[in-house]
Amino acid sequence: MKVAVIIVAAGRGHRVGADLPKQYLPLCGKPILQHTVAAFLKVPTINLIQTVIHANDQALYETAIGNLDLLPPVFGGDTRQQSVIRGLESLAMHEPDLVLIHDAARPFISPRHIEDIIAAAEEHGAVIPTLPVVNTVKQISGQHITGTIDRSSLARAQTPQAFRFKLIYMAHLRTAATTPLTDDCAVAEACGIRVTTVPGEDRNFKITTAGDLMKAEHMMKQQLTDI
């Protein structure tokens, strides 16, 4: 069983609004991307790690990753979906059986959680980690409430999402012109692929805003002192 990982890191981090794209900002002194990559390097069943970066970020990438044991990075596109396709195209020649696709902006992914997702993907073929929706969710029109959604039928999606390589590669090629598909599960859904949920982890949140960065710094400090 050959297992590959794509880490998408070609975004610009507009919502964080820092001087650098968020994946290169430091968390406890190390770039966020380095924390993310380190978690996957700790999982022995992973054979290949493909990062996808922005062409303008090569110097930042070199500083963050240096000579860690990864495939050379490939350049992403204007959307996450396009960046994932670049990663899949690059991995195709290695013919992996499974691929995990992960956001660089989720540095709290744990090696144990990655292993659980790989095991579930071996069994089910297509897997997504999800969390329940705990708040009441409203439907709105302008400033007014028009309804309350049954939250038991909702879930919050996380990454890494994992798939049989050929299945998700084909699905991405087939849906490349369909936008917006903001995660790989949506690509699979669009092709009628049945995706199985596994429990996500609260800690594995995506750093999206400046406030998230502060929360992440605090959590990382805690994690490093716990070890």
Binding site for Mg ion (CB under 5 A): 11
Is residue 193 packed enough to be buried (19+ CB in 10 Å), middle (13-18) or exposed (0-12)?
Answer: middle
Q: Which does 125 bind (CB under 5 to 8 A by kind): Mg ion, ligand CTP, none?
A: none
**What are the residues binding ligand CTP (CB under 6 A)?**
8-15, 21, 23, 52, 76-80, 83, 103-105, 206, 208
Nearer to ligand CTP, 14 or 144 (CB): 14
Question: Cα–Cα distance between 109 and 9 in angstroms, integer?
Answer: 15
Query: Residue with CB nearest Mg ion?
Result: 11
Between 48 and 119, CB nearer to ligand CTP: 48
Contact present, 43 and 115 (Cβ < 8 Å): yes
From the list ligand CTP, Mg ion, none, pick the one residue 78 interacts with, judged by a Cβ distance below 5 to 8 Å according to partner type. Answer: ligand CTP
Which does residue 15 touch among ligand CTP, Mg ion, none (CB within 5 to 8 A, set by kind)?
ligand CTP
Chain position whose Cβ is nearest to ligand CTP: 11
- b (16+ CB within 10 A) / e for 99-108: bbbbbbbbbb
Contact 162, 195 (CB under 8 A): no
The encoded tokens of residue 182 equal: 């903001």
Is beta strand 126-132 parallel, antiparallel or unpaired with respect to 98-103? unpaired
Nearer to Mg ion, 11 or 107 (CB): 11
**CA neighbor of 13 nearest in space, from 146, 103, 121:** 103
Considering CB distances under 5 to 8 angstroms, the limit depending on partner class, which of Mg ion, ligand CTP, none binds residue 79?
A: ligand CTP
CB of 227 to ligand CTP, least distance (A): 25
Q: Out of Mg ion, ligand CTP, none, which partner does residue 105 contact, by CB within 5 to 8 A per kind?
A: ligand CTP
